[in-house]
Amino acid sequence: MGNVAVVGAQWGDEGKGKIVDWLSSRADVVVRFQGGHNAGHTLVVDDVVYKLSLLPAGVVRGGKLSVIGNGVVIDPWALLDEIETVAAKGVVVGPETLAIAENVCLILPIHRELDQARETARGGAKLGTTGRGIGPAYEDKVGRRAIRLCDLRDVETLRPRLGELLLHHNALRRGFGMEDARAETLESDLLAVAPRLLPFAAPVWRLLDRARHARKRILYEGAQGAMLDIDHGTYPFVTSSNTVAGQAAAGAGVGPGTIGYVLGITKAYTTRVGGGPFPTELEDEIGRGLGERGREFGTVTGRPRRCGWFDAVLVRQAVKIGGIRGIALTKLDVLDGMSELRVCTGYRDGEGGPLDHIPSAAADQARVEPVYETLDGWQESTRGARSWADLPATAVKYIRRIEELIEAPVAMLSTSPEREDTILVHDPFAD
């Protein structure tokens, strides 16, 4: 079909930005289909670093149409700031290169304030949200009281919508000891940015349908990872949207049959930001070493990521849930110089019994213990390798064992943040 969906197969931060950027050279349209500016992609192009949170990775390549689908929630001010930031680096973003679904829901200052108030009230039981209002914005979407981009076209539509929204939010704000939000202030702020946002608004579903009929190649770009999925992740330590490939259809306004190849992104080890279970976490010198060599700090928050061994159980589950046909394995070079490596091949439950998946209940997740297999490491450098012949034999053996355990082939291999340091085994667009 020539259409590819790229999704994370761990807890996010797998290196999707580079892979999407690399694949976008083969695509005509790049679509972001879920999440908000709580997600971040770091791209390195000709030694220029781009940190994107809402803009699809395709914006840094000329001649591509970038699309923000209806499944995303948008902070208007954050988006405009991001557009200005990339413009300062020579990337021009205009209505001819970026389309935003007119029915996309907006993140307002009241969402951010509520998000932060809730995290503060949780004390030591924080979920680890970014505090950017994504969760409350999705709540309002499901509660049918959200403000959508199309609402900014008509103040007579916007005003009663804001009144309904604040009826809900001000009740919550009083419970947290916060002052009531004023509809007049929100209305004024939104109408001020409307002229800058509305030129991007479009019926995205129709644009994508026309692109498909014109046999354009479409790349669907996911954010976060499968284990942060609101339904299938390590609940409640998850994000507020569906992160698996099935959401690409609903979040962009296309039929599920139009999604062709699903490429899952996974690191050669495992990381996680924030709270929640992490069976293979290493709170020792090895874990700290992985974090230092891999520069494991959140693109959005700057928080250090927790690091651990590769968890094949977790990734295999993501493969099954997400319909992943192939894996892009990233950051292999971070493992260079290690004498031995461990891979989680199974779990033990709280009573010591075998377990081949991550259980749904939070209490059961917390009791999971990893079962490891030890593999030889390698001393040679894999950084910058662009062919299998450049890889040490033990590195190839490590990759082949991962393929066996996760029951999916490695379609791509990334050996540095640089765009061209990529080994292509199978071109997803070839299917």
What tens digit of pLDDT does each residue of 237-257 get? Answer: 999 999 999 999 999 999 999
Distance (Å, whole) CA 83 – CA 199 = 14
Q: Which residue has the tokens 């790349």?
A: 219
Q: Give me 281's structure tokens.
A: 């976490």
> Strand (E) positions, 139-221?
201-202, 218-221
CA distances from 366 to 136, 237, 311, 349 (A): 26, 12, 15, 9
Instruction: Judge whether 2 and 218 are in contact, CB under 8 Å.
Output: yes
Q: Give me 233's structure tokens.
A: 């992740």
Give me the pLDDT at residue 212, please: 94
Q: Give me 376's structure tokens.
A: 């030889």
For residue 305, give the DSSP letter: P
Catalytic residue among 13, 21, 75, 229: 13
Question: Which residues touch 133 (CB under 8 Å, ≥6 apart)?
Answer: 36, 75, 107, 108, 109, 110, 111, 112, 113, 114, 115
pTM, two decimals, is: 0.92
Catalytic residue among 37, 41, 169, 232: 41
CA distances from 244 to 2, 364, 375 (A): 19, 23, 30
Instruction: Judge whether 178 and 113 are in contact, CB under 8 Å.
Output: yes
Peptide bond into 76 cis (omega under 30): no
Give me the pLDDT at residue 120, please: 87
Give me the pLDDT at residue 298, please: 65
What tens digit of pLDDT does each residue of 187-208 get? Answer: 999 999 999 999 999 999 999 9
Is 37 part of the annotated catalytic residue set?
no
Q: Which residue has the tokens 């994000």?
A: 239
Residue 186, helix vs strand vs coil: helix
- Mean pLDDT in each 10-residue stretch from start to end of the chain (431 residues)? 90 88 89 88 76 87 91 97 93 94 98 92 74 93 97 95 96 95 96 97 97 95 94 94 96 93 97 93 94 80 86 98 96 95 96 94 94 97 93 97 98 88 91 75
For residue 15, give the DSSP letter: S
The helix or strand, by DSSP H or E, that contains position 209, with its residue range, turns out to be helix 204-213
Give me the pLDDT at residue 301, please: 61
Give me the pLDDT at residue 128, please: 66
What are the residue ranges of helices labelled H in 354-392? Answer: 362-367
Kindly report the number of other CB atoms within 10 A of residue 293's CB atom. 16
Backbone angles phi, psi at 241, to 5 degrees: -135, 170
Question: Which residues touch 393 (CB under 8 Å, ≥6 apart)?
Answer: none
Is 13 part of the annotated catalytic residue set?
yes
- In this structure, which long-range contacts are made by residues 293-300, counting pairs with CB atoms below 8 Å and at least 24 apart in sequence? 293/334, 294/267, 294/269, 294/331, 294/334, 296/13, 296/271, 298/13, 298/40, 298/273, 299/13, 299/17, 299/40, 299/41, 299/42, 299/51, 299/53, 300/37, 300/38, 300/39, 300/40, 300/53, 300/130, 300/132
